[in-house]
Amino acid sequence: LAATGGKGREWQRQQRAAQHVKQQRTRALFTMATEVSEMTLEEQAALKAKRTFKKFSYRGIDLDKLLDLTHEELMKLVHARARRRFNRGLKRKPMALIKKLRKAKKDIGPLDKPEIVKTHLRNMIIVPEMIGSVVGVYNGKTFTTVEIKPEMVARYLAEFSITYKPISHGRPGIGATNSSRFIPLK
């Protein structure tokens, strides 16, 4: 035990096993890197295209079908508060925002981002139609730019525009503690 610095045989065995795993990983990474470097450009492009990404779905419905849902079908999927809000009907201001977002999306090319549409409607529930739009949400002082992604469906715009500046504590000032009252005389 004295030679191992007070640690037992079990600890030594664990250290050796961890070292062995590290060596195996580095060997595997090295062989993968050499295989990729030996590939032609076409094969590398095909390998990149083959990568799969997690497909987005909202409560079991994928993005394509979500965009095709009617107002009533969407209402059945969202949470109770949003369902109540939709049931009572969208008023003039939320509808105006949706119209502006449609117009901004229509005026752009296929791979461009739409123009920012500024709004004070923090309580607007994000619907699938808004996906891909860029909204400037007012936080009481400035407009926070929010790009709407599929994961944001059925949440409020306000959730993505914080209204306060999170504090970062600095040093305590004079009078913060009892000991800080003492100021030595020169």
Interior/surface letters 161-182, b for 16+ CB within 10 angstroms, e for the rest: beeeeeeeeeeeeeeeeeeeee
Two tokens, residue 5: 């610095």
Two tokens, residue 143: 């407009």
Cβ neighbour number for residue 119 with a 10 Å cutoff: 21
pLDDT of the residue at 90: 82
Angle among Cα 135, 148, 52 to the nearest 5 degrees reads 155
pLDDT of the residue at 156: 93
Cβ neighbour number for residue 96 with a 10 Å cutoff: 13
For the chain, 186 residues long, the average pLDDT of each consecutive 10-residue run is 64 87 79 65 69 77 87 89 89 91 86 90 91 92 93 91 89 71 65
User: Can you tell me the distance from the alpha carbon of 54 to that of 63, in angstroms, rounded to the nearest whole number?
Assistant: 12
Q: State pTM to two decimals.
A: 0.63
Are 119 and 96 within 8 A, CB to CB? no
pLDDT of the residue at 116: 93
pLDDT of the residue at 12: 86
User: Can you tell me the distance from the alpha carbon of 82 to that of 88, in angstroms, rounded to the nearest whole number?
Assistant: 10
